[in-house]
């Protein structure tokens, strides 16, 4: 595993997310294409809570405290329970950026981590390296989601015109 490359990807991903969202309105942030979809604001708050309550903590436990249980999480329920869509986009984005910086600082503090360390999760064993790689992949999944939401908003704003000339999506 290339730790430096993955660590840098976490940094780059946070910068990309910030750039994608820095000038959107609250209306754009709260808009959903349908009832089953998340809004941009819900995605950002999901990333914020995952940053502070999931990946960093679970990776730390896997690397350093394998006798401890991972904290329980329920990201799908949190979206509604924690009322993500009523929050402020600027505060949510700042919170995510601050938590990501805390994560990067924590990663920088690791002294020769054992990426082969295994945690016995309810779904089966997982190595620390798998968890770290999944953290980076998680960002990318939600960046794609943010781009798809932005595209849907652009298509809506372009009506009655189409975007076929741009090429296939």
93, HSE (Cβ side, Cα atoms, 13 Å): 21
Beta-carbon contacts of 15 under 8 Å, excluding residues fewer than 6 positions away, are: none
Q: Which neighbouring-strand residues pair with 20?
A: none
Q: Which neighbouring-strand residues pair with 127?
A: 118
The C-alpha atoms of residue 162 and residue 169 are separated, in whole angstroms, by 12
Structural domains in the chain, CATH included, are 3-161 (1.20.120.450)
Q: Is the per-residue pLDDT at 169 higher than 90? A: no
* Banded model confidence at residue 132, pLDDT cuts 50, 70, 90: very high
Largest pairwise CA distance in the chain: 59
Residue range 73-100, pLDDT digits in tens: 999 999 999 999 999 999 999 999 999 9
CB 117 within 8 A of CB 27: no
Residue range 20-67, pLDDT digits in tens: 998 999 999 999 999 999 999 999 999 999 999 999 999 999 999 988
pTM of the model: 0.94
Long-range contacts of 130-137 (CB under 8 A, 24+ apart): 131/55, 131/58, 131/59, 131/62, 132/1, 132/3, 132/6, 132/59, 133/1, 133/6, 134/55, 135/10, 135/55, 135/59, 136/6, 136/9, 136/10, 136/13
Residue-level pLDDT at 66: 82
């Amino acid at each position: 595993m290339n730790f430096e490359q993955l660590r840098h990807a976490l940094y780059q991903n946070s910068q990309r997310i910030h750039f994608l969202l820095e000038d959107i309105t609250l209306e754009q942030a709260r808009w959903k294409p349908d009832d089953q979809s998340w809004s941009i604001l819900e995605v950002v708050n999901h990333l914020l809570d995952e940053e502070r309550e999931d990946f960093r903590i679970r990776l730390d436990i896997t690397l350093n405290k394998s006798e401890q249980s991972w904290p329980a999480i329920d990201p799908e329920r949190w979206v509604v329970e924690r009322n993500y869509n009523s929050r402020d986009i600027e505060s949510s984005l700042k919170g995510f950026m601050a938590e990501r910086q805390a994560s990067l600082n924590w990663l920088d503090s690791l002294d020769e981590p054992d990426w082969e360390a295994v945690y016995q999760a309810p779904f089966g064993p997982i190595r620390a390296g798998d968890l770290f790689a999944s953290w980076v992949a998680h960002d990318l999944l939600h960046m794609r989601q943010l781009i798809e939401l932005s595209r849907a908003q652009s298509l809506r704003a372009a009506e009655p015109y189409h975007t076929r000339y741009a090429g296939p999506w």
